[in-house]
C-alpha cells in the first residue's frame, strides 16, 4: 500500500516502519550505539564529506532516531523532521536557526512556562528582540511586525488556558510579511490537527507528552520543509548537540502506534470532564475548545478533528480552594506534564507557569484559581466521580 494513501489510523502503525529486513523483527530495532564502524579510511572520509549515505556517529544520525523523524514528518504532512532531546531543545534550536542577533520575533502570550522563560530570558540575551503578543488577535500581531521580524511562534490550543489560534489566518498574515510561522502542536498532536496543512511552515512538539503517551521519556521534534530541516540538523542539532537517545526515540515510536486510539479516548473523556465541571456549582469557568460556547470552539472545529485531552477550569474560592481540591483526589494524580495514559492535575500559576510573574499570570488569564487537567484514558465516569468527591471537600 502506498504510504501517501494511508489513513492516519494505519499511518501511526505502519508509517516509516517495516519489519527489520535481516532478522524479521517486527519491532524497530534500538540501535543503542554511539558510533558506527567505517569499512576503511576512505569510506569514513566520504561519509564526512557527504559523498555517500551512511552512519557516522549518533549525534549526527542514527537509524532508530531517523525512523522516528520520518514518522513524524509523515504524520504532520511535512517533508522531513529532526528529533531533539526535549521539547525545549526543539523550540530553542528552531528559534536560533531562524533568528540571529538584531532580529525580532513574535511569540504568543500564553505558552508553556518553560517556553515563556526561554523567550523572555534566554533568547533576548542572544540579541534577539521578543514581542509577547496575543496571537489570537491578527491586528495586534500586525502592529508589532517590523522590518527585522523573522517569525511568529504560538501553541494552539495553548498551555494552560486552551486558547485557540486560527492557524490559517495567522499563516497568511505571516507570509504576507515574509515571516516563518512556527506552531507548537503538542496539545493537539497530528491526529487532531496538522498545522502545515493549514499553512504553517514549521511544527514543533514536546514528544514527552501524547506522542510518547506513557509518561516514561522526554523528547522533542521539529518538522518542516526538507531544505530547512537539513540546515537545522547541520547548524544546531549536530553542533549544539541536542540529540535524543536511540532508546527514548524507540519508546516514542512504540507510543505512536496507539496514538490515534488514545487521542480519541482522551478527547471523549475530556469532553465528559468539561461538561461535568461546567455544571458544577464550585466551578466558575471551564476552558475546553470542545464546549460549544467556548470562545475558541468555532476555529477549533475548523482546524481540529476533535478537541483533545486538556481541560482547565477556575475553581470558586481561588488558590486556597484549588489547593484543597488537589489534596483531595485519588484517581487524578497531582503532577505536571501531560498527555499520559494517567489523568494528571496541577496548578499552573504555582507550577508549570510559575515563570510568569503574578501580574503576567493575571494579564494572560492564568488566575490563582486556575486548575489544569490532562485527562487520561481511564474510565471517564470514574474521573468525574473523583473530581466530584474532591470538590465536595472544598
Three-state SS at 269: helix
Cell 531544505 sits on residue:
227
The set of residues, in sequence order, having a beta carbon less than 8 Å from that of 373 and lying 6+ positions away, is 270, 273, 310, 311, 312, 313, 332, 343, 344, 345, 387
Q: Beta-carbon neighbour count of residue 235 at 10 Å?
A: 13
CA separation (Å) from 143 to 50, 158, 167, 171, 173? 44, 22, 18, 16, 12
Q: In 118-258, which residue ranges form alpha helices assigned H by DSSP?
A: 123-125, 138-144, 167-176, 189-192, 226-232, 246-256
176 is catalytic: no
Contact 87, 205 (CB under 8 A): yes
Q: Which is nearer to ligand LCS, 119 or 145 (CB)?
A: 119
272 is catalytic: no
State which residue has the least CB distance to ligand LCS. Answer: 87
Q: Which of 184, 201, 294, 386 is catalytic?
A: 184
| Distance, CA of 237 to CA of 58 (rounded, Å) | 11
Three-state SS at 199: coil
- Name the minimum Å distance from CB 268 to ligand LCS: 22
Cell 536560533 sits on residue:
96
Q: Which is nearer to ligand LCS, 78 or 182 (CB)?
A: 182
Three-state SS at 283: strand
Q: Which is nearer to ligand LCS, 86 or 169 (CB)?
A: 86
Contact 91, 204 (CB under 8 A): yes
- The interface with ligand LCS within residues 58-117 (CB under 6 A) comprises 86-88, 112, 114-115
Q: Which is nearer to ligand LCS, 131 or 189 (CB)?
A: 189
| Distance, CA of 303 to CA of 166 (rounded, Å) | 8
Instruction: Give the interface size with ligand LCS as a residue count (CB under 6 A).
Output: 18
59 is catalytic: yes
- Name the minimum Å distance from CB 348 to ligand LCS: 8
Regarding 155 and contact with ligand LCS (CB under 6 A), the answer is yes
Instruction: Report the Cα 165 to chain-centroid distance in Å.
Output: 15
Q: Beta-carbon neighbour count of residue 100 at 10 Å?
A: 12
- The interface with ligand LCS within residues 346-365 (CB under 6 A) comprises 352
- Name the minimum Å distance from CB 65 to ligand LCS: 16
- Name the minimum Å distance from CB 215 to ligand LCS: 11
Q: Which of 46, 59, 254, 257 is catalytic?
A: 59
| Distance, CA of 137 to CA of 109 (rounded, Å) | 11
- Name the minimum Å distance from CB 207 to ligand LCS: 7
Three-state SS at 359: helix
Regarding 338 and contact with ligand LCS (CB under 6 A), the answer is yes
- Name the minimum Å distance from CB 219 to ligand LCS: 7
209 is catalytic: yes
Q: Which is nearer to ligand LCS, 31 or 154 (CB)?
A: 154
Regarding 206 and contact with ligand LCS (CB under 6 A), the answer is yes
Regarding 267 and contact with ligand LCS (CB under 6 A), the answer is no
Q: What are phi and psi of 35, to 5 degrees?
A: -135, 165
Q: Which is nearer to ligand LCS, 72 or 145 (CB)?
A: 72
Regarding 186 and contact with ligand LCS (CB under 6 A), the answer is yes
Q: Which x/- pattern, by CB under 6 A, does the window 113-152 give for ligand LCS?
A: -xx-------------------------------------
Near ligand LCS by CB under 6 A: residue from 95, 98, 218, 371? 218
State the first-to-last Cα distance of the chain, in angstroms, to the nearest integer.
Answer: 56
Binding site for ligand LCS (CB under 6 A): 86-88, 112, 114-115, 155, 159, 184, 186, 206, 208, 218, 220, 336-338, 352
Active site residues: 59, 112, 184, 209
Amino acid at each position: 500500500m502506498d504510504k501517501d494513501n494511508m489513513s492516519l489510523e494505519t499511518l501511526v502503525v505502519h508509517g516509516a516502519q517495516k519489519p527489520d529486513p535481516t532478522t524479521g523483527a517486527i519491532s524497530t530495532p534500538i540501535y543503542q550505539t554511539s558510533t558506527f564502524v567505517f569499512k576503511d579510511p576512505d569510506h569514513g572520509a566520504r561519509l564526512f564529506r557527504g559523498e555517500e549515505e551512511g552512519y557516522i556517529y549518533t549525534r549526527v544520525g542514527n537509524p532508530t532516531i531517523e525512523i522516528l523523524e520520518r514518522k513524524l514528518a509523515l504524520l504532520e504532512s511535512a517533508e522531513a523532521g529532526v528529533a531533539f532531546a526535549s521539547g525545549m531543545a526543539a523550540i530553542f534550536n528552531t528559534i536560533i536557526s531562524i533568528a540571529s542577533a538584531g532580529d525580532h520575533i513574535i511569540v504568543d502570550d500564553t505558552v508553556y512556562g518553560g517556553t515563556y522563560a526561554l523567550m523572555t530570558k534566554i533568547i533576548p540575551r542572544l540579541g534577539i528582540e521578543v514581542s509577547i503578543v496575543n496571537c489570537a488577535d491578527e491586528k495586534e500581531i500586525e502592529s508589532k511586525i517590523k522590518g527585522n521580524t523573522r517569525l511568529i511562534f504560538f501553541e494552539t490550543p495553548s498551555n494552560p488556558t486552551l486558547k485557540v489560534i486560527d492557524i490559517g489566518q495567522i499563516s497568511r498574515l505571516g507570509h504576507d510579511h515574509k515571516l516563518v510561522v512556527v506552531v507548537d502542536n503538542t496539545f493537539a498532536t497530528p491526529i487532531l490537527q496538522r498545522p502545515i496543512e493549514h499553512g504553517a511552515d514549521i511544527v514543533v512538539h514536546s514528544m514527552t507528552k501524547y506522542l510518547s503517551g506513557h509518561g516514561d521519556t522526554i523528547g522533542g521534534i521539529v518538522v518542516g520543509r526538507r531544505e530547512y530541516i537539513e540546515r537545522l540538523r547541520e547548524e544546531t542539532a549536530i553542533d549544539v548537540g541536542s540529540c535524543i537517545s536511540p532508546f527514548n526515540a524507540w519508546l516514542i515510536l512504540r507510543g505512536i502506534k496507539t496514538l490515534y486510539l488514545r487521542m480519541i479516548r482522551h478527547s471523549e473523556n475530556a469532553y465528559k470532564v468539561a461538561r461535568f465541571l461546567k455544571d458544577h456549582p464550585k466551578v466558575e469557568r471551564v476552558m475546553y475548545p470542545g464546549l460549544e460556547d467556548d470562545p475558541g470552539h468555532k476555529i477549533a472545529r475548523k482546524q481540529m478533528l476533535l478537541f483533545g485531552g486538556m481541560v482547565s477550569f477556575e475553581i470558586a474560592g481561588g488558590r486556597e480552594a484549588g489547593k484543597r481540591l488537589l489534596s483531595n483526589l485519588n484517581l487524578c494524580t497531582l503532577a505536571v506534564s501531560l498527555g499520559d495514559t494517567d489523568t494528571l492535575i496541577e496548578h499552573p500559576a504555582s507550577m508549570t507557569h510559575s515563570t510568569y510573574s503574578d501580574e503576567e499570570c493575571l494579564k494572560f488569564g492564568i488566575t490563582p484559581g486556575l486548575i489544569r487537567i490532562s485527562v487520561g484514558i481511564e474510565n471517564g465516569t470514574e474521573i468525574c466521580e473523583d473530581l466530584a468527591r474532591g470538590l465536595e471537600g472544598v
